């Protein structure tokens, strides 16, 4: 975190603002943005790397690891937040989390199975310290009851999605590039994490330089690495990044982050010693001790599932007990919160296919070549050398349809191109064009958030002012319906795939758009719903249950993704992926089933929404908590 000068600290204390918000918000915005850049950059590559990298996992194994990783990532903030609350404070917890995550990203550059699992474990533990405590400090910037706090969190949310949008475009581009490779993609994620850490701890002047210079370098890279329609996408994010950087530099000039932000709630506990060591040292040692345990859990998905399920069952039993003991209004509200948590589990289980089954579907069955010059009948009979490209998937070569496995094998052998004897069966295959790598398309969701997040917030406010804003239950129903329709759109895309089994990229983008609008009906609403419906005496426990529900959804997501598993060992022992024409129907069938199931669930939730809305007792004001 920036170390303010005396004058700057005084300015912050006096309420220095930028655009009506505390100046420190924009420093936290950039620290979080770069952390999310690193996190989503690694996430964009993870499943593809496990399947196509040195680990050579089959689909089922990769989905199990990805599901365990997601489950533990969302379970860890409960413990990281508790340690910060009781011991070291949010500021130190964020620093610890950032350093652990930087180490994790760095380890991902090593081709060793042990290093891989330890890297994921460092990311899990680091995220537990970083994620809840950075958000806590954003709230601390505002005085109690500030009407600008919600808008501040909206800006912070935009920073998260700016980083999440940048990450796949850059980490994916370099990670999947034949000229660079996986380790450059993971290395870029490491750089992003280190930049975020430096912004958090550097002196103010250096922080201004870091924010401005990294924004300029990143924007310049974005607009030079690709052309065509991807240049327009990259340029949009480059402009957004430069505007945000300019505001952050100005904010730092006006005061930056207050010196006491994120201080421990119980500073006297930091002076206590156990075996000669203080709480800060014990926190570091404890975090490092947990890392190998998490690494083992990541390799044993059934154990992870059992632990998360047991913790979830205990949390559910505790909340049901509290509901049973509570007065009628509190009981009804808590039961409504639990019902919507269950709805959110299903939503996120489908939404999180983006990093697993959708990632592989995009790699194997989506036509990602734009502005292509294709083979015509006049080209039949020509001998050509073509650079390795997804445009060749499904076309016959050497007696069989080309698959992703064939392309990856050629790359591993050092081939940059394949020779083709063009026949009538190759008419329509791209000779040249701009290829978008599969991981880059994961930027669609955060870009849509940046485009539609504020309009959605404005829509809810506009409807609310007229007494027509949908209830939380109706919004959740709309979210489920849209994520379901997104998968139905993908299914339809598979039914109109070309003869090689390749699906138009516009169907994938339509699905991501529907998933994003569904997310905007669920994600911003969920946390607010918890704070409104949970009894104040157990609001932290209910919030912990919300994150545990999200954790459990990742395990369900892994089970759903496993239904699409198509790879397996062949006679030569190599894990082979079938050609697109053999996989397109598998993906389409699963997408249709889960899409229709989501739509049916949305309809059922809509039917019971009046009952849930009554259970919220909006007309009743909660009594004040008794004095301690």
Beta-ladder partners of 366 = 503
493, 356 Cβ separation under 8 angstroms: no
- Chosen domain end from 291, 313, 343: 291
Regarding whether 168 and 50 lie in a shared domain, the answer is: yes
Identify the pLDDT of residue 318.
86
Regarding whether 361 and 383 lie in a shared domain, the answer is: no
Tell me the C-alpha distance between 356 and 186, whole Å.
18
In a domain, 586, yes or no: yes
pTM over 0.85: yes
Regarding whether 225 and 241 lie in a shared domain, the answer is: yes
Burial label for 529, CB within 10 Å (0-12, 13-18, 19+), is buried
Distances (CA, A) of 281 to 100, 198, 286, 562: 14, 21, 9, 42
Q: How many helices (H) and strands (E) does the chain have?
A: 20, 12
In a domain, 467, yes or no: yes
In a domain, 166, yes or no: yes
At 208 the three-state DSSP class reads helix
Tell me the C-alpha distance between 526 and 543, whole Å.
10
37, 189 Cβ separation under 8 angstroms: yes
Tell me the C-alpha distance between 178 and 286, whole Å.
40
- The tokens for 587 are 């993906």
The three-state DSSP-derived secondary structure of 581-604 is HHHHHHHHHHHHHHHHHHHHHHHH
407, 576 Cβ separation under 8 angstroms: no
Instruction: Report, as an integer, the average pLDDT of 509-531.
Output: 87
Regarding whether 248 and 101 lie in a shared domain, the answer is: yes
Distances (CA, A) of 163 to 241, 279, 352: 9, 33, 18
- 503 pLDDT more than 90: yes
Regarding whether 554 and 511 lie in a shared domain, the answer is: yes
In a domain, 624, yes or no: no
In a domain, 626, yes or no: no
Question: Given pLDDT bands bounded at 50, 70 and 90, which one contains residue 465?
Answer: confident
Q: How many domains does the chain fold into?
A: 3
pLDDT tens, residue by residue, 28-38:
888 889 999 99
Distances (CA, A) of 192 to 98, 119, 127, 427: 11, 16, 15, 43
Regarding whether 328 and 227 lie in a shared domain, the answer is: no
Q: Is the dihedral of CA 383, 388, 390, 394 positive or negative?
A: positive
Q: Name which of 236-245, 254-263, 446-455, 486-495 the model is least confident about.
A: 254-263
521, 478 Cβ separation under 8 angstroms: yes
DSSP letters spanning 469-494:
PPPHHHHHHHHHHHHHHHHHHHHHHH
pLDDT tens, residue by residue, 239-281:
999 999 998 888 888 777 777 777 777 777 667 776 767 777 8
Q: How many CA atoms lie within 13 A of 275 on its CB side?
A: 3
Regarding whether 187 and 310 lie in a shared domain, the answer is: no
Regarding whether 189 and 173 lie in a shared domain, the answer is: yes
- Chosen domain end from 263, 291, 319: 291
Q: What is the DSSP letter of 86?
A: I
Q: What are phi and psi of 430, to 5 degrees?
A: -70, 130
- The tokens for 247 are 């505001």
Q: Is the dihedral of CA 125, 127, 130, 132 positive or negative?
A: negative
Q: What are phi and psi of 146, to 5 degrees?
A: -65, 130
Beta-ladder partners of 115 = none
Regarding whether 364 and 404 lie in a shared domain, the answer is: no
Regarding whether 397 and 414 lie in a shared domain, the answer is: yes
DSSP strand pairing (17-18 vs 21-22): antiparallel
Q: What are phi and psi of 309, to 5 degrees?
A: -65, -40
pLDDT tens, residue by residue, 145-178:
677 777 777 788 888 899 999 999 999 999 988 7
At 248 the three-state DSSP class reads helix
In a domain, 237, yes or no: yes
pLDDT tens, residue by residue, 117-144:
999 999 999 998 888 888 778 878 887 7
Q: Name which of 8-22, 79-93, 563-577 the model is least confident about.
A: 8-22
Which residues span the domain enclosing 116? 1-291
CATH number at residue 51: 1.20.1250.20
- Chosen domain end from 417, 435, 453: 435
- The tokens for 1 are 């975190």
Q: What is the DSSP letter of 3?
A: B
Q: What is the DSSP letter of 537?
A: G
Regarding whether 471 and 420 lie in a shared domain, the answer is: no
Instruction: Report, as an integer, the average pLDDT of 325-346.
Output: 90
Identify the pLDDT of residue 620.
64
In a domain, 129, yes or no: yes
Regarding whether 556 and 475 lie in a shared domain, the answer is: yes
Q: What are phi and psi of 138, to 5 degrees?
A: -60, -45
Residue bearing the bigger pLDDT, 548 or 601: 601
Burial label for 571, CB within 10 Å (0-12, 13-18, 19+), is exposed
Tallying the residues shown for the chain, one arrives at: 628
In a domain, 570, yes or no: yes
Instruction: Report, as an integer, the average pLDDT of 69-92.
Output: 84
């Amino acid at each position: 975190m920036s170390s303010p000068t005396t004058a700057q600290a005084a300015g912050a204390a006096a309420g220095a603002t930028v655009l009506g918000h505390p100046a420190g918000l924009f420093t936290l915005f950039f620290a979080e943005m770069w952390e999310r850049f690193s996190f989503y950059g690694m996430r964009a590559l993870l499943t593809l790397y496990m399947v196509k990298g040195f680990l050579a996992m089959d689909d089922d194994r990769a989905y199990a690891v990805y599901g365990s990783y997601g489950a533990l990532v969302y379970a860890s903030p409960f413990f990281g937040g508790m340690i910060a609350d009781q011991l070291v404070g949010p500021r130190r917890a964020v620093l610890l989390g950032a350093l652990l995550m930087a180490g994790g990203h760095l380890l991902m550059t090593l081709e060793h199975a042990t290093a891989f699992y330890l890297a994921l474990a460092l990311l899990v533990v680091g995220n537990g310290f970083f994620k809840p405590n950075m958000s806590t400090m954003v709230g601390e910037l505002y005085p109690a009851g500030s009407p600008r706090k919600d808008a501040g969190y909206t800006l912070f949310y935009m920073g998260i999605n700016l980083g999440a949008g940048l990450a796949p475009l850059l980490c994916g581009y370099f990670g999947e590039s034949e000229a660079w490779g996986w380790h450059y993609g993971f290395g870029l994620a490491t750089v992003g994490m280190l930049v975020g850490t430096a912004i958090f701890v550097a002196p103010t002047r250096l922080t201004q330089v870091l924010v401005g210079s990294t924004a300029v370098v990143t924007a310049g890279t974005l607009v030079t690495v690709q052309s065509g329609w991807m240049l327009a996408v990259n340029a949009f994010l480059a402009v957004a990044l430069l505007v945000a950087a300019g505001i952050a530099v100005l904010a730092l000039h006006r005061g930056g982050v207050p010196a006491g932000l994120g201080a421990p709630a119980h500073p006297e506990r930091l002076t206590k010693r156990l075996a000669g060591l203080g709480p800060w040292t014990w926190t570091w040692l404890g975090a490092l001790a947990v890392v190998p345990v998490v690494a083992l859990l990541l390799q044993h998905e059934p154990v992870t599932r059992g632990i998360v399920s047991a913790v979830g069952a205990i949390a559910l039993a505790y909340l049901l007990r509290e509901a049973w003991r509570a007065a009628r209004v509190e009981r009804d509200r808590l039961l409504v919160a639990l019902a919507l948590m269950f709805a959110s589990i299903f939503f996120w289980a489908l939404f999180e296919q983006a990093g697993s089954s959708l990632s592989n579907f995009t790699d194997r069955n989506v036509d990602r070549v734009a502005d292509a010059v294709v083979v015509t009948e006049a080209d039949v009979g020509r001998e050509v050398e073509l650079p390795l490209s997804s445009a060749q998937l499904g076309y016959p070569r050497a007696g069989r349809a080309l698959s992703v496995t064939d392309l990856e094998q050629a790359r591993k052998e050092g081939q940059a191109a394949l020779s083709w004897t063009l026949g009538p069966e190759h008419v329509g295959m791209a000779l040249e064009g701009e290829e978008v790598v599969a991981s880059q398309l994961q930027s669609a969701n955060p870009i849509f958030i940046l485009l539609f997040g504020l309009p959605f917030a404005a829509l809810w406010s506009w409807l609310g002012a007229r007494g027509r804003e949908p209830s939380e239950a109706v919004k959740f129903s709309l979210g489920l319906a849209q994520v379901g329709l997104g998968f139905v759109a993908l299914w339809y895309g598979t039914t109109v795939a070309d003869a090689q089994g390749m699906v138009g990229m516009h169907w994938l983008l339509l699905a991501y758009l529907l998933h994003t609008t569904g997310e905007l009906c669920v994600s911003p609403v969920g946390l607010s719903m918890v704070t409104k419906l949970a009894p104040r005496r157990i609001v932290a426990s209910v919030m912990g249950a919300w994150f545990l529900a999200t954790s459990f959804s990742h395990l369900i997501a892994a089970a759903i993704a496993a239904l699409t598993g198509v790879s397996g060992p062949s006679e030569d022992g190599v894990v082979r992926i079938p050609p697109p024409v053999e996989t397109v129907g598998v993906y389409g069938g699963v997408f249709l089933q889960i899409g229709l199931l989501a739509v049916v669930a949305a309809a059922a939730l809509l039917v019971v929404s009046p009952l849930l809305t009554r259970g919220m007792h909006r007309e009743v004001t909660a009594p004040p908590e008794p004095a301690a």
